[in-house]
């Protein structure tokens, strides 16, 4: 045991070192854990905060944005802000709020080339290709177009008017004689600039910009739209349908390519008018007769 | 042993007020001046420096990126970094490698203004108690920051980094962020002496690593004049690095502070009434060494 006594000072020092290291590692580790957990909640963006044009998807953006504010400085309309600590946007990162300060869609996109890291993608040179978010008509109950009133403000302020937002004319069931001018947003053209949201005349906008992942649905990867595939191939990709053989009275044909039922008038001189043809069908013109017939037969 | 009675009194008496405060004043001018250069843009439309300490543009041309932020970006595994950030990080890296790593801490970082104020108040209130941290805790912090970045894939530390929060907050405005800064201030006053900058800040740790090799150093060539007043020891933010150099003549330790922890703040130069310290190069410049070099050169010439 004489060895252990002679080693005592050294082992004391080593013990001290190990304990101090463990203490530091423990404290720093706990802090790291805290930051990590905080980052989880701090990284969840408020849905109303929109990234500048060309922003990478959120995970890559948070890995590459140095929070320097150069995009903020070079925005000629001063719409961009850097998030403060405790905001619903990760600290220091740039965003804008469409309702108050939408993106004016500058043609030269000055906020992008100053970004030193490419967190705003330098490859984006045409502002119409930007996808900051997507405008969504969120409330059909308050949007006055759905109430049958003329508004179309969102349609008219849209910088890609007629492509990103179009008007769909529908019958006004309430009045019975007017049209509804319904705004429809098209994701293939909408940049998410937010000019429509700012312009919306309601107290709370009925059209809002949402980040893409909130605004869009996504079709299952296994879906193939038959009609599109058919167009691409130029023909049906499955065995053609068996042509249905109708048991039609003489002088009538069925066209499978879209015409439907055809009265071959040349071959059927007796049926000169559609009225006459109707009388030739086995069905009554009054659907009630068919129902009554069923009841009578049951009796 | 000639312990000082009033801190800095001897230096002022012997060298005059300016010489006793020169580096401190220059340092404050640098710290505030850099902030002002950034503010000239938004205030007066004169864009000398644009952005903030994380990334900026000098005269709208020269890109600069903080290499510590850049390192976090690398740790996240993000691969497609644009060339401006790479160039910018290399420029700043080269600057601090040349002029002293933690030169950033004492001449540029805005948090230094806060923690120096804490240190001043701590001394005024004569608070001597506080938490003890290992000197190397900030290196653990640096490791933790890089680890958390790697695990999460995002620059997590930048969510709470007080240095970038303060600088960004001054330039771009902030509210709650001031609480973080107030926290740092109070922490340094009441919890630990020089707690943040000396013990915890991972940014300081990163620049400390750069400072290990930088050539511009504080030298103590006239260390024989030292009368043990210990004033330098009191004002130095990293006092543990001084005694070995000051008292190491017999052990053959060169009279130059080579530790990366030194922030090149120059306060020791100001406060010393004996003019022991001065800025110089890390290489041996004593007369004996210089004459040795000359002899070697002469020998070399003869041989040729």
Q: Which residue has the higher pLDDT, A296 or A256?
A: A256
pLDDT at residue A94 above 50? yes
- Determine the structural domain holding residue B285 and report its residue range: 216-291
pLDDT value at position B228? Answer: 83
Does A213 lie in the same domain as A152? yes
Which portions of chain B are predicted below pLDDT 70? 1-3, 284-297, 303-304
Residue A278 pLDDT class (50, 70, 90 cuts) = low
d(CA B281, CA A37): 45
Alpha carbons within 13 A on the beta-carbon side of B62: 9
Taking the Cβ of residue B183 and every Cβ of chain A, the question of whether any pair is shorter than 8 Å is answered with: no
Is position B78 within any domain? no
Is position A17 within any domain? no
- Determine the structural domain holding residue A59 and report its residue range: 42-129
Asked if B41 and B172 touch (Cβ cutoff 8 Å), the reply is no
Best mutation target, A67, A83, A90, A95, to test chain B (most B CBs within 10 A)? A67
Taking the Cβ of residue B169 and every Cβ of chain A, the question of whether any pair is shorter than 8 Å is answered with: yes
pLDDT value at position A261? Answer: 81
d(CA B102, CA B156): 23
Taking the Cβ of residue B66 and every Cβ of chain A, the question of whether any pair is shorter than 8 Å is answered with: yes
Is position B271 within any domain? yes
Q: How many domains does chain A have?
A: 3
Beta strands in B21-176 (DSSP E): 49-51, 55-58, 62-65
pLDDT at residue A295 above 50? yes
Question: Which residues in chain A touch residue B156, judged by CB atoms under 8 angstroms apart?
Answer: 35-36, 39
Q: What is the pLDDT of residues A203-224, one digit of tens each?
A: 999 999 998 888 888 889 998 8
Q: Which residue has the higher pLDDT, A205 or A274?
A: A205
Best mutation target, B172, B173, B179, B205, to test chain A (most A CBs within 10 A)? B172
Percent of all residues in chain A with a pLDDT value above 70, rounded to a whole number: 85
Is position A33 within any domain? no
Helix (H) or strand (E) holding A165: strand A165-171
Asked if B169 and A83 touch (Cβ cutoff 8 Å), the reply is no
d(CA A83, CA B168): 10
Taking the Cβ of residue B177 and every Cβ of chain A, the question of whether any pair is shorter than 8 Å is answered with: yes
Is position A296 within any domain? no
Does A158 lie in the same domain as A83? no
Q: What is the pLDDT of residues B42-91, one digit of tens each?
A: 888 888 888 888 888 888 888 889 999 999 988 888 877 777 888 889 99
d(CA B99, CA B91): 12
The CATH number of the domain holding residue A195 is 3.30.70.20
Does A202 lie in the same domain as A269? no
Q: Do B154 and A63 touch (CB under 8 A)?
A: yes
Tell me the β-bridge partners of A183: A167
d(CA A265, CA A284): 22
d(CA B211, CA B260): 4
Best mutation target, B76, B144, B180, to test chain A (most A CBs within 10 A)? B144
Is position B158 within any domain? no
Residue A4 pLDDT class (50, 70, 90 cuts) = very low
> Among residues A207, A236, A265, which one ends one of the domains?
A236
The candidate with the shortest Cα–Cα distance to B246, out of B279, B268, B261, B267, is B268
pLDDT value at position A3? Answer: 46
Q: What is the pLDDT of residues A37-58, one digit of tens each?
A: 887 777 677 888 899 999 988 8
Is position B26 within any domain? no
Does A221 lie in the same domain as A140? yes
d(CA B67, CA B75): 12
Q: How many domains does chain B have?
A: 1
The CATH number of the domain holding residue B272 is 3.30.70
Q: Do A39 and B164 touch (CB under 8 A)?
A: no
Is position B247 within any domain? yes
Q: Do B179 and A39 touch (CB under 8 A)?
A: no
The candidate with the shortest Cα–Cα distance to A55, out of A121, A2, A145, A105, is A121
**CA of A24 to nearest chain B CA: how many angstroms apart?**
6
The candidate with the shortest Cα–Cα distance to A165, out of A199, A132, A198, A188, is A188
Is position B224 within any domain? yes
Taking the Cβ of residue B240 and every Cβ of chain A, the question of whether any pair is shorter than 8 Å is answered with: no
Does A252 lie in the same domain as A229? no
> Among residues A180, A201, A236, which one ends one of the domains?
A236
**CA of B101 to nearest chain A CA: how many angstroms apart?**
21
By the 10 Å C-beta count (0-12 exposed, 13-18 middle, 19+ buried), B37 is classed as middle
Q: What is the pLDDT of residues A224-260, one digit of tens each?
A: 888 888 888 887 777 766 667 778 888 788 877 777 7
Q: Which residue in the set A24, A69, A116 is minimally distant from B168, CB to CB?
A: A69
Q: Which residue in the set A43, A64, A92 is minimally distant from B78, CB to CB?
A: A64
Looking up tokens 């940049």, which residue turns up?
A: A191
Model pTM greater than 0.80?
no
Is position B268 within any domain? yes
Does A145 lie in the same domain as A221? yes
Does A121 lie in the same domain as A57? yes
Does A138 lie in the same domain as A222? yes
pLDDT value at position B288? Answer: 55
Size of interface A-B (CB pairs under 8 A): 150
């Amino acid at each position: 045991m004489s060895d252990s006594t002679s080693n005592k000072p050294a082992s004391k020092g080593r013990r001290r070192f190990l304990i101090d290291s463990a203490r530091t590692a423990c404290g720093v580790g706990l802090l790291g854990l805290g930051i990590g957990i905080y980052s989880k909640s701090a990284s969840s963006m408020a849905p109303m905060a929109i990234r500048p044009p060309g922003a990478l998807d959120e995970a890559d953006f948070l890995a590459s944005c140095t929070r320097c504010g150069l995009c903020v400085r070079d925005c000629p309309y001063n719409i961009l802000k850097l998030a403060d600590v405790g905001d619903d946007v990760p600290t220091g990162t740039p965003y804008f709020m469409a309702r108050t300060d939408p993106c004016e869609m500058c043609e030269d996109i000055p906020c992008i080339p100053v970004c030193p890291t490419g967190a705003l993608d330098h490859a984006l040179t045409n502002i119409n290709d930007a996808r900051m978010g997507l405008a969504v008509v969120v409330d059909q109950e308050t949007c006055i177009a759905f109430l049958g009133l003329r508004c179309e403000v969102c349609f008219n302020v849209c910088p890609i008017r007629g492509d990103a937002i179009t008007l769909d004319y529908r019958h006004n069931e309430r009045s019975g004689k007017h049209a509804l001018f319904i705004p429809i947003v098209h994701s293939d053209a909408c940049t998410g600039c937010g000019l429509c949201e700012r312009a919306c005349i309601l107290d709370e906008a009925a059209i809002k910009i949402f980040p893409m992942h909130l605004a869009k649905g996504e079709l299952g990867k296994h879906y193939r739209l038959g009609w599109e595939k058919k167009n691409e191939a130029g023909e049906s990709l499955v065995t053609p349908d068996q042509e249905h053989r109708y048991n039609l009275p003489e002088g009538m044909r069925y066209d499978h390519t879209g015409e439907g039922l055809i009265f071959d008038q040349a071959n059927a001189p007796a049926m000169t008018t559609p009225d006459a043809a109707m009388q030739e069908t086995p069905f009554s013109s009054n659907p009630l007769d068919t129902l009554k017939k069923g009841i009578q037969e049951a009796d | 042993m000639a312990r000082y009675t009033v801190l800095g009194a001897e230096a002022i008496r012997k060298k005059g007020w300016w010489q006793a405060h020169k580096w401190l004043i220059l340092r404050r001018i640098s710290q505030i001046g850099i902030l002002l250069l950034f503010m000239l843009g938004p205030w007066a439309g004169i864009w000398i420096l644009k952005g903030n300490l994380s990334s900026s543009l000098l005269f709208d041309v020269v890109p600069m990126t903080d290499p510590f932020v850049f390192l976090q970006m690398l740790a996240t595994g993000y691969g497609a970094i644009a060339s401006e950030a790479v160039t910018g990080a290399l420029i700043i890296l080269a600057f601090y490698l040349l002029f002293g790593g933690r030169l950033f801490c004492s001449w540029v970082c805005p948090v230094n203004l806060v923690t120096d104020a804490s240190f001043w108040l701590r001394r005024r209130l004569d608070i001597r108690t506080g938490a003890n941290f290992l000197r190397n805790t900030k290196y653990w912090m640096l490791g933790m920051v890089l680890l958390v970045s790697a695990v999460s894939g995002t620059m997590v530390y930048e969510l709470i980094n007080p240095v970038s929060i303060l600088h960004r907050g001054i330039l771009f405005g902030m509210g709650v962020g001031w609480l973080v800064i107030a926290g740092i201030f109070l922490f340094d006053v009441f919890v630990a002496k020089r707690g943040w900058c000396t013990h915890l800040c991972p940014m300081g740790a990163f620049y400390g690593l750069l400072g290990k090799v930088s050539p511009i150093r504080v030298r103590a060539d006239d260390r024989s004049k030292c009368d043990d007043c210990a004033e330098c020891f009191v004002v130095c933010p990293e006092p543990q690095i001084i005694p070995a150099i000051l008292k190491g003549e017999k052990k053959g330790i060169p009279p130059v502070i080579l530790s990366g922890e030194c922030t090149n703040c120059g306060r020791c130069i100001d406060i010393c009434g004996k003019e022991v310290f001065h800025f110089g190069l890390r290489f041996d410049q004593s007369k004996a060494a210089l004459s040795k070099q000359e002899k070697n050169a002469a020998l070399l010439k003869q041989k040729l």
